[in-house]
Each structure stands twice: as structure tokens, then as C-alpha cells.
Structure 1
Amino acid sequence: MLVGGAGRQKGGHACPPFLLSTWRCRPPLRAAHAGGNVLNRPAKNIFCAIFCAIFCAITATAGLAAELGIGAVQELGFGKFIAGAGGTVTLSAAGARTAGGNVQLVPSGSWNAAQFTVSGDPNLSYSVSLPADGTVAMFSGANSMALGGFTSNPSTTSQLGGGGTQTLMVGATLVVGSGQARGAYSGSFAVTINYN
């Protein structure tokens, strides 16, 4: 029979209520012989202590976070330019466009950094992984231009807002060959995000 309240044996030491009808828990024996040998505890006291330890384990908990997502809002656009003897066209994550080498920018038209929306659990931090150099290119038929030097804002790590979303801007550098063939070039690249 289980006893509802905590019991005490003579001497004021508490016994677990679920063990009162079976075992009598005793305080540890601390007396020693003159030779220094500590008296052994009764075997049933040891069993009582082990049984108590099992029932005193802490509770395990777990929380399931919302899946981290990313959606494209605006493409990466370099606008128009003249290749000349070759060089580069760079778009910063803020959308500023600059030319390097002998490339000449055409001021008409539009250009813009890529824009994404990151979503997930509010206030959680995440990391951003951008393509490595030499892995992305833009094509126009058989002609191509390498795309690299990717940058982002926020950069490698950031934190979602209280609403669970954040805007991510991405820029890159386009490598233009000497006498690069005219045409409308296009391509694609991947941005990877993970919770920290």
C-alpha cells in the first residue's frame, strides 16, 4: 500500500512515501571501528537510495522552431554597359553600380541588387552562405560572363525581427571579357540560410 504523506522514522530522517510500507530508510552510518573501517550500510538502505534517485530525475523538454525560409523579391540586374577591352561591373548589396578596367557604364536603364525575404522564428539568428567564385556564370547563347565576389546585407550572420522576417540584399561582380559579345545575358545563383 502506498502512503500519501512523507513519513519519518525515529531520529527525524524522512523516508520516501512510496517506500514506507516496504522499506525503512535509515540515516547513513558514520561510526567507525578503532581500526578505521567504516560500518557497512544495510543492503535495503542502498536499494532505497537507488530507487529514490530514479524518481528524482529532471524533466526533458524540447521546442520545435518554425522552418527557415527564403523567397526572391527582386532579381540581380547589372544594367547596360559597353565591354571595350574588358573589365568588371560591380553591384554592391546597397545597389550602387561601379565599373572597373575598360568597361563603360551606360547611365540609361535600371540596375539593382538582388532582394530576398528571410522568414522563420522571431528574433532567432541565422547565417548566410553565398556562392563561391567560379561557380556562377551568365549566358547569352554560347557566350558567357563569370559572376563572383558576392556580398550581402546583412552579411554572414543576422537576426530575424520580432515579426519573424528580414530583408536580405545581395550584390556581386560581373567579369566582362575584352570585346565581349553583345546580348542579353542571364543566369541564376543560390543563397543558403541556416539557423545558428
Structure 2
Amino acid sequence: MAIFGDLNLTHLEDMDFGQIVETTGGTIVMSPFPNASCTVTGSVIHSGVCQPASFGGSGDNGKIVRIKKPPSARLTLTGPGADMEITNMTIDGSPELQLIQSTPGYSRYRIDSVTGIFEFRVAGTLNVGANQAPGLYTGTFEITIQYD
């Protein structure tokens, strides 16, 4: 007989694309890895740190965690100018979570940490419009977790 504990999850960091300046638009593609990087296209000038959203959790080693991305893997940011979208949202949980299967809706992971403690990160592509007004742009998204 085996007795399994509950899954605990907490928000650690907000997603942050740093500071940007642009004139004719472009994108910033952020990786969801522990040492995140950003790749810029178009006339976007980027400075500062790229920080994926990160979440920490604890469960039982060997158990399965299903992480559901926001609908259509998109997030709308609102601010002083036209809305911007984050598209192609991606999830990475390495090294503590081993990816088993990925679908457009869910990513399925096995907890590979002996202690059961893990972290996963969420990133994506920021689409910056031409002549985007300066200021702070924010948005929220929901992550759904299923635990077997």
C-alpha cells in the first residue's frame, strides 16, 4: 500500500519582458528555461532581464502533474496604448519535471525530484505594435493543475 500526499503550488515570479523601445513593431520571444533568454525581431530594442512566470510546487516523486496553458496559449496585455498579446505560451519544468506528453492544451509531466519539490516556468512571444505607446502593460492568466 502507498499513501500519497497532496500537491502544493505557489506563484514565485511574474512574467517580465524588461524594458522595450520600438518604432515599427516586432516581437520578443522569451524562453521558459531557468536562465531565460529573449530574442528580438523587428525594430524593438530590448534591455533588462527576461523573466518567465514561475511557480513552485511539491508533490510525490513519480506522480504525474498535468499543467494546462491559458486558452489558445495567449494572454492580452492592457496599458496606456493599444493592447499587446503574448502568444505561443510555453511551459518548461526541467530538471525536476520530466515531460511525458504535450498537447495544445495540457503538458503532462512526471515529478522526478526525490524530494518532490519542483518548479515550472511559463513564457511566450510578446507582439509589440508599431508606435506602441510607452507605459506599463499588464495582464493575468490562469494555469490549471491536475495531479495523479
* TM-score band, normalised by shorter chain: 0.7 to 0.9
How many aligned residue pairs are there?
133
Whole-angstrom distance in 1 between the partners of 2:45 and 2:125: 15
Q: Which has the higher contact order (CA 8 A, sep 6+)?
A: 2
Q: Which runs of 5+ in 2 are unaligned?
A: 94-98, 100-106
Alignment TM-score, normalising by the size of structure 2: 0.77
Shift of 1:142: 5.7
Q: Flag the structure with larger Rg.
A: 1
8 Å CA contact retained: 1:93, 1:151: yes
Unaligned runs of 5+ in 1: 1-60
SS at match of 1:81: strand
CA distance in 2, matches of 1:150, 1:99: 16
Q: For residues 30 and 74 of structure 2, what CA distance do their matches in structure 1 show? A: 18
Q: Secondary structure of the residue that 1:133 maps to in structure 2?
A: helix
C-alpha RMSD of matched pairs (Å): 2.2
What is the 5 A alignment of 1:39-188?
A: 65-94=4-33, 95-105=36-46, 107=47, 109-133=48-72, 135-141=74-80, 143-154=82-93, 156-160=107-111, 161-188=113-140
1:123 shift after superposition: 2.3
Q: How far did residue 78 of structure 1 move?
A: 0.1
Q: CA deviation at 1:157?
A: 2.2
Quick one: distance in 2 between partners of 1:134 and 1:191? 10
> Which of the pair is proportionally richer in helix?
1
Identity among equivalent positions (%) equals: 26
Q: Which has the higher strand share?
A: 2
TM-score by length of 1: 0.60
Q: Deviations over 1:6-48 (max 9, x none)?
A: xxxxxxxxxxxxxxxxxxxxxxxxxxxxxxxxxxxxxxxxxxx
